Amino acid sequence: MSTDEKSHIATFGPLMPNKVPNRPWKIILTDLIMQLPESDGYNTICVIVDRLTKRAHFIPINNEFSSKDMV
């Protein structure tokens, strides 16, 4: 690799660890599992995970929702 090529490589700063929550359900992760085969009128699963306890809730929903419905 020439010196010209090295000058285009971005440098990264120090790694910053994620904050550790001090109580359950303070920091959560959410995800949607979509395009599943329909079952009982639902075809999407909303997954909510607590970062501290790793406890998860799986909520069946229909993919016909708006962002307001998700809040």
For the cut 90, the answer to whether the pLDDT of residue 11 exceeds it is: no
Domain range annotation of the chain: 26-64
Task: Specify the residue for token string 């994620």.
Answer: 18
CA-CA distance, 53 to 17, in Å (whole number)? 18
DSSP codes, 18-66: PPPPSSTTSSEEEEEE-SPPPBTTB-EEEEEEETTT--EEEEEE-S---
pLDDT bucket at 40, cuts 50 / 70 / 90: very high
The answer to whether 41 and 61 have CB atoms below 8 angstroms apart is no
pTM: 0.68
